[in-house]
Amino acid sequence: MSRLLPIAAVLSSFVACGGSETSDTVEISATSRGGERPPAFVGGEPRLLSPGTGNRARLRYVIPEGDEERFGMQLILGVTAGMGDTTTFVESPPIAFEIEVGPIRHRPDGRYRYDLEIQSVDLVLPEGTPDEIREALSSEVAQMGRIEGWIEVDDRGITRDVHGTTPTGVPPRTQTMLGNIRSALQSIPLPEDPVGIGARWEVRRVVDHQTHEVDQVVTYELLDLVGTRGELRITVEQSAEPQPLHNLPDGGEANLDTYVGQGSGGAIFDLTSVTPVATLSFQSAMHATAPGQGSQLTMETLTQVVVQPR
């Protein structure tokens, strides 16, 4: 039985309801990491796949100095995890965020720097939820309110620098949610060349999922463009090569065998605003094995994110 404890700990970390009482925050920065890879939400050069048809425009953000924005975001994450023949499903209740962005500051190099802070986090649990579950979920959700700092983007919406804090010592499920929050609040990256209706471009980057790294391709298709406002269709593809899993609880060991992820949604952007109105659904599936034990771990996730202005 004791030989199964490491992989059991892996499973519990993915489906755990509660956060860690010892969780703290750590600084993140794109300019102070030496030779390390910058955070996954920094950089990512758009590559134009098709310029579209009709009149073409060179898309650039022109955001007023001192502008401030407030957004509401709803996030839902469902996880189905299995070890051998045992399967567990956990779905978080809808989590509502109030997020403040700004004021916008114009930099000498032409970039825009703005503060980002989560003002409040709330979740509504069904009647009859046991107190211990309520307290555990509330503790986990509270960690998500500890994101703050500043972001710099250029006039194409590409994140060039970031500095702030993010909580540590929380379950991977919470880390996944935090990554989704950051991604949802990013400006839409725009191509260098002029584009028209039907234009398509992609952004490739490596994303750190805390326990493993995945290759991600996000594709944007321009559906409409009127003045400074545009509508996009967005698709996300993720994959990963076999690799050891890291940052597992209690020194657990496991190897990732396969990982795939797919997402789709839409966004409305405004070239005078840093944050798009967006809706995205994302599904992923992974399979891992504990070395020397033959224990099989599977996990499927479904994430839904909606961002709306206040």
| pTM of the predicted structure, to 2 decimals | 0.83
pLDDT at 273: 94
pLDDT at 267 over 60: yes
Q: pLDDT tens digits for 77-117?
A: 788 888 777 878 777 778 888 989 999 999 999 999 999 88
Q: How many domains does the chain have?
A: 1
Q: What is the CATH number of the domain that holds 300?
A: 2.30.230
Q: pLDDT tens digits for 26-41?
A: 454 555 444 444 455 5
Most confident option among 194-203, 249-258, 298-307: 194-203
**295 confidence band (pLDDT: 50, 70, 90):** confident
DSSP string computed for the chain: -GGGHHHHHHHHHHH-----TT-EEEEEESSS-TTSPPPTTS----EEEE--EEEEE-------TT--EEEEEEEEEEEEEEETTEEEEEEPPPEEEEEEE---EE-TTS-EEEEEEEEEEEE-PPTT--HHHHHHHHHHHHHGGG-EEEEEE-TT--EEEEEEEEEESS-HHHHHHHHHHHHHTSPPP--SS-EEET-EEEEEEEEE-SS-EEEEEEEEEEEEEETTEEEEEEEEEEEE-SEE--S-GGG---EEEEEEEEEEEEEEEETT-SS-EEEEEEEEEEEEE-TTT--EEEEEEEEEEEEEE-
Q: Bigger pLDDT: 122 or 233?
A: 233
**64 confidence band (pLDDT: 50, 70, 90):** very high
Q: How far is Cα 278 from Cα 289, in angstroms, rounded to an integer?
A: 36
pLDDT at 184: 61
Average pLDDT over residues 56-63: 97
pLDDT at 6: 31
pLDDT at 13: 35
Q: What percentage of the chain exceeds 90 in pLDDT?
A: 41
pLDDT at 293: 63
Average pLDDT over residues 252-275: 92
pLDDT at 166: 64
Lowest mean pLDDT among 5-9, 39-43, 268-272: 5-9
**169 confidence band (pLDDT: 50, 70, 90):** low
pLDDT at 12 over 80: no
Q: Show the domain range for 273.
A: 2-309
Average pLDDT over residues 198-207: 94
Average pLDDT over residues 124-153: 77
Q: How far is Cα 300 from Cα 88, in angstroms, rounded to an integer?
A: 10
pLDDT at 5 over 90: no
Q: Bigger pLDDT: 211 or 107?
A: 107
pLDDT at 47 over 90: yes
Alpha helices in the chain (DSSP H): 5-15, 131-143, 172-184
